[in-house]
Chain A
């Protein structure tokens, strides 16, 4: 299967997840254990009404989805994955009104565990909004 149709299938799959759809997530890139997913600014996601900054929880949802997508795109071929743990470091508030984009990389897999790291950026590419590291289950075909 060529990269284009692979991307198309992965995109349809992830964008059909009810909560990803609720947040308006869009898959920009997904291949070889790496994924880029973004979501638009939405006033319903504001966590601090004084500043208009998006709630950390919405950034977590984006990061978790992006990490899971990176795991599913790993060449070893997981048939399913679930988050075991996820740590998010919030480096600065995302600028209100700007799109948030997460980049995740599944940098190591064992028989049953995938290790992932990710960053979240707004339109200022040089200063990350948040960073994440997580462990995910890596469920293989025919595995226990």
Chain B
């Protein structure tokens, strides 16, 4: 029986694939969104900055920033989930030279549950349905407390045509 892969090999491969999905996208860098990976689970992190504010009187994070943060989380989460077998199988190396094509947003609906406080925000996406052509993704966003969401969203996506 083949011995299991060394943990560093596994981590290097997964982290390279994640970097390829995230670092090549200017808008993700513009907002300062990073991804924390634990196994196949991704948590996106929006580090607070003054220029993310939409209402200086409260102050609160711009509703558009919240929408964008959740949409980025949904797209990266969906791409990540749909590429997981390829990443793990190693038959298709994913790195900065070979980025998978991204799903296209069909529609995206955001519920604003609380105002976004001037501090870091986190989000996780769950792919609720993933077909060959269409996918549905739900995203939850929170700040200090995982149980107290400040926003949630549902989106539908058109999957890129598979080359196979």
Name A residues whose Cβ lies closer than 8 Å to a Cβ of B. Answer: 16-22, 43-50, 54-58, 60-65, 68, 80, 82-90, 93
Contacts and interface: CB of A to CB of B under 8 A. Distances in A.
Contact of A86 (B56, B101, B110): B110
> Chain B binding site: helix, strand, loop or mixed by DSSP?
mixed
Q: Name the interface size band of chain B.
A: 35 or more
B128 interface: no
Nearest to B64: A61
Interface of B: 24-27, 29-31, 50-57, 60, 62-65, 67-69, 71-72, 75, 99, 101-102, 104-112, 115
Contact of B54 (A17, A45, A54): A17
A49 to B, nearest CB: 5
A90 B107 contact: yes
A18 B52 contact: yes
A58 B69 CA distance: 10
A53 B31 CA distance: 16
Contacts of A20: 54, 62
B55 to A, nearest CB: 7
